[in-house]
Structure 1
Amino acid sequence: MKKQPLVYICAVLISLFAVSPFLWMIITSLKSQTEIYSNPVSYFPKQINLEGYKGMLNPNADSNLNFMKWFYNTTIVSLLTTVFSIVISALGGYSMSRFRYRGRMAIGYLILITQMLPGSLLIIPLYIIMKDYNLLNSHFGLVIAYSTIAIPFCTWMLKGYFDSISYSIDEAAMVDGASRWMTFVRILLPLTLPGLMVTSIFSFLTSWNEFLFAQTFLSDYDKWTLSVGIASFQGQYVVNWDYLMAGSVITTLPIVIAFWALQKYLVSGMTAGAVK
């Protein structure tokens, strides 16, 4: 019992340490460019400045004309990556869990090994493949690149969920006349909903925050994603910190909202699938 106050204090300090970059980002976004570079540095804005947010959200702002376009591009790419990754991973995880075919585990370990490769190592082969198939400078090509990162993790994650479901449920469904496909869609997928939510969020975050592939594969200004567009505010000699921080806050908000809305699935999903 005496250890509880110490545990609470440690939890608060760790939480403040984790949240402090986001708080600093919000505070900086509310400062003017002059105040940001002032000496000594003020920790809180002396006067609330919303020019960064107005410039980002105002379609008539010359320097930030495409911010909402970048937001739209990022949303489309992230949603498509999530859908493709979940569909392929669910089928792959179900196959590895329920079927006993030759080479099943070898294929599984091969998928797992691809997860260990850093993204920088995949850029050159992916660039060559996309160039051969005319997928460079296209959002579909970017979706394929992101899927190569998300699918290996999601496949193994969902395999663990399918392993935790007793095979007697499949047998009972098929005795009642359900086909294997019907059993998979109508019975097993609803039971793995927490796992599907966890893998969906992972796939969405992978594509939402990714910078290296987007910077390499997209060249048109109108096709940029948020990570590339926001990075463009950092010039060689001058950094528009108010715009940069305002754009970062707006970019982070959808992720915060998604975590807040789906946190109950995240907690149950990250523990239930870990047994196997």
Structure 2
Amino acid sequence: MSKGINKIIVYACAVLISLFAVSPFLWMILTSLKPQAEIYSTPLTYLPQELHWEGYKGMLNPHADDSANFMKWFGNTAFVSLLTTVFSLIISAFGGYAMSRFGFRGRMSLGYIILLTQMLPGSLLIIPLYLIMKDYNLLNSHLGLVIAYTTFAVPFCTWMLKGYFDSVSQSIDEAASVDGANRWITFIRILLPLTLPGLVVTGIFSFLTSWNEFMFAQTFISDYDKWTLSVGIASFQGQYVVNWDYLMAGSVITTLPIVIAFWLLQKHLVSGMTAGAVK
């Protein structure tokens, strides 16, 4: 078989896999542009016969009853996700640096213990976390949600950043020390810029962990005005009726920040993922 035919087969497989991966998102967009009657019509039409923007208008219009608190939910989710990302990066950067540069006793055992926490499913920890938050009056607060998300993001981020710090030669630390820089200056001004791809990857992981999470948000947050997007959008699915146009429009709007973040950070993301693959 010639090389040309091999390339055609590879490209065809890549196109099919891409279409398979993108098809749910395309279906979501197309459904958000259909009226309710057309969504339930038979036979099913894939393309909307007429563009229907009511779902988007209802979500984005602050004076519309159907939008409820969608924009407030959006703000709550952004606040919780950004705060989780900041806390996770700060804690993980210090933890990864300490595990990489300090040869204290039990360092590897501690690293494995941190990594093992990733094996625990969230459903197993939801009751202990609920009881802890109840004792500290953190239920129904965004701070409690941030703490819960951070506990799940930090172990992976710490282990990931440790690998990036390990890839930076310790001779750089020694050279900085000869020039008069202490550990703090070396860490902030030299090592962190060198591990920027790793910070981007772990930052995106932390952001996605909190942006898409549903179970903790539904359990720990009870006030309607404090809901996050995942819980708020799920409320459009009733027991007997599902507002598909509103639900899909809200899902599209929720997905856009993730798409934009990946598009803006794709350079650092690709280099960070490929660098992390060989550690």
TM over 0.5: yes
Match of residue 227 from structure 2: 224
Cα separation, 2, equivalents of 1:122 and 1:265: 33
User: Aligned ranges for residues 46-61 of structure 1 at < 5 Å?
Assistant: 46-61=49-64
Match of residue 250 from structure 2: 247
Cα separation, 1, equivalents of 2:34 and 2:275: 44
Q: Which of 19, 23, 32 pairs up with 1:16?
A: 19
User: Aligned ranges for residues 42-81 of structure 1 at < 5 Å?
Assistant: 42-81=45-84
- Equivalent position amino acid for 2:114 in 1: I
Secondary structure in 2 matching 1:178: coil
Q: How far has the Cα of 1:195 moved from its partner?
A: 0.3
Cα separation, 2, equivalents of 1:53 and 1:122: 37
- Equivalent position amino acid for 1:245 in 2: M
Cα separation, 1, equivalents of 2:235 and 2:114: 35
- Equivalent position amino acid for 2:67 in 1: N
- Equivalent position amino acid for 2:15 in 1: V
Cα separation, 2, equivalents of 1:38 and 1:273: 48
Provide TM-score, normalisation by structure 1. Answer: 0.99
Match of residue 86 from structure 1: 89
Match of residue 137 from structure 1: 140
- Equivalent position amino acid for 1:248 in 2: S
CA distances 1:206-238 after superposition (whole Å, capped 9, x unpaired): 000000000000000000000000000000000
Secondary structure in 2 matching 1:188: helix
Provide TM-score, normalisation by structure 2. Answer: 0.98
Secondary structure in 1 matching 2:57: helix
Are positions 1:156 and 2:156 aligned together? no
Are positions 1:262 and 2:270 aligned together? no
Q: How far has the Cα of 1:65 moved from its partner?
A: 2.2
Q: How far has the Cα of 1:248 moved from its partner?
A: 0.1
- Give me the CA root mean square deviation: 0.7
Cα separation, 2, equivalents of 1:273 and 1:65: 43
* Structure 2 unaligned residues grouped into runs of 5+: none
Q: Which of 169, 172, 177 pairs up with 1:169?
A: 172
Q: How far has the Cα of 1:105 moved from its partner?
A: 1.1
- Equivalent position amino acid for 1:120 in 2: S
Cα separation, 2, equivalents of 1:250 and 1:78: 16
For the Cα contact (< 8 Å) 1:112–1:156, is it kept in 2? Answer: yes
Cα separation, 1, equivalents of 2:271 and 2:63: 45
Match of residue 183 from structure 1: 186
- Equivalent position amino acid for 2:156 in 1: F
Match of residue 34 from structure 1: 37
Secondary structure in 2 matching 1:45: coil
Match of residue 240 from structure 2: 237
Secondary structure in 1 matching 2:103: coil
Cα separation, 1, equivalents of 2:140 and 2:75: 16
Q: How many residue pairs were aligned?
A: 276
Cα separation, 2, equivalents of 1:275 and 1:166: 16
Are positions 1:147 and 2:150 aligned together? yes
Percent identical: 81
